[in-house]
Amino acid sequence: MLPSFSYVRPGTLGDAVKQAASEGAGVLAGGTDLLGCMRDGILPLTKLVSMSGVKGLGGIGKRPDGGLTIGSLTTITEVAESAVVRENYPAVSMAASEVASPQLRNQGTIGGNLCQKPRCWYYRGDFHCLRKGGDRCFAAGGENPYHCIFGGGPCFIVHASDIAPALVAFGASVRTSGPKGERTVPVGKFHVLPSVDVRRDTVLEAGEIVTAIELPPAPKGARSLYRKVRARNSWDFALAGAAIVVTMNDKTVTSARIVLSGAAPIPWRSKETEDAVTGKRLDDKVIAKAADAVVLNAMPLAQNGYKLHLFRGIIREELKKLAGA
């Protein structure tokens, strides 16, 4: 059952920041994750600060440098269907269209997608785990088929967003406004590993609100895609996935950014795979080496070793597509 809470709908960003910084307050965008978290007892909020009255946080616009600004309240459907996103950042568009179901994409926002809480069944269930201030991670020795194979410990969640890896692959940043003013944080540094702070998902401070996502111009001639593997084809979170952005000179890879989903507690940049292809001709031999490289430093748990096969297969299949594109 949802606990009782009060609801405010500020009309300005300044007021929203003030309200969000007050005791027990939380930021409400589309509510698709937040309300479930409150029902599950993992967000003990007493006041919801709706962003819906704050003007200027929605929509997609071109930046003077040729990049894009996506307002934090832009719905995931708008991102998925935007022609300018699809044309310049195909991996972002593909990732957005793979999120959840049409209804959730219509209601959920890109800001909320980056800030959503992890889906670990112990964390969301009746277990006083490390992330909730307890003294152990129940997944470590428990049911862990959907948990991480990189970056785990002391907690073994996976980061849930499909869009974040694609944003990291394009070098995007998050713009925020908070009690200490505005700042810009690379999406690659926005999420927090459990080994750094097991109680935090992002670097956001109390009252700090994501106002926009900034995408730099895509590298000239970049080819990109997002591949997601899930347990069923309707809606589901990624068991494994990858956002890949490469530039190529004929068949030779001149730059590569490869970021995994379903792999780690944060979007996981696979430098091993990037190194395996950069400066190389993307032929079958190099692709096979890259597929081995993606799992080189993986540390699977008792029940998620199958993810190694998924990541190898994803890298093999998707690099082949990009080589032939």
Ligand X SMILES: Cc1cc2nc3c(=O)[nH]c(=O)nc-3n(C[C@H](O)[C@H](O)[C@H](O)COP(=O)(O)OP(=O)(O)OC[C@H]3O[C@@H](n4cnc5c(N)ncnc54)[C@H](O)[C@@H]3O)c2cc1C
Give dist(CA 162, CA 241) in Å, integer.
8
Whether the CB-CB separation of 199 and 206 falls below 8 Å is answered with no
Give Cβ neighbours of residue 114 (< 8 Å, ≥ 6 apart).
161, 163, 164, 167, 174, 187, 190, 202, 210, 213
Among 26, 217, 219, 313, binds ligand X (CB under 6 A): 26
Among 74, 109, 273, 304, binds ligand X (CB under 6 A): 109
Q: Which of residues 34-53 bind ligand X (CB under 6 A)?
A: 34, 36, 51
CA 310/CA 158 separation, integer angstroms? 15
- Told to check if 70 binds ligand X by CB under 6 A, we report no
CB of 207 to ligand X, least distance (A): 9
To the nearest 10 degrees (0 to 180), the angle between helices 306-324 and 284-293 is 150
Nearer to ligand X, 239 or 245 (CB): 239
**Beta strands 47-50; 25-28: pairing state:** parallel
In the bound state, the residue with its beta carbon closest to ligand X is 112
**In the numeric block, which tokens belong to residue 185?**
């944080």
Question: Is the CB of residue 227 less than 8 Å from the CB of residue 294?
Answer: no
- By CB under 6 A, residue 93 contacts ligand X: no
CA angle 258–118–297, rounded 5-degree value = 40
- Residues 206-225 touching ligand X, rule: CB under 6 A, are 209-210
Does residue number 31 form part of the binding site for ligand X (CB under 6 A)? yes
Q: Is the Cβ of residue 23 or residue 135 nearer to ligand X in the bound state? A: 23
Which 222-281 positions form the footprint of ligand X (CB under 6 A)? 235-237
CB of 287 to ligand X, least distance (A): 27
Using CB under 6 A as the binding rule, whether residue 30 contacts ligand X is answered as: yes
Binding site for ligand X (CB under 6 A): 26-34, 36, 51, 72, 76, 99-100, 104, 107-109, 111-113, 115-116, 160-163, 204, 209-210, 235-237
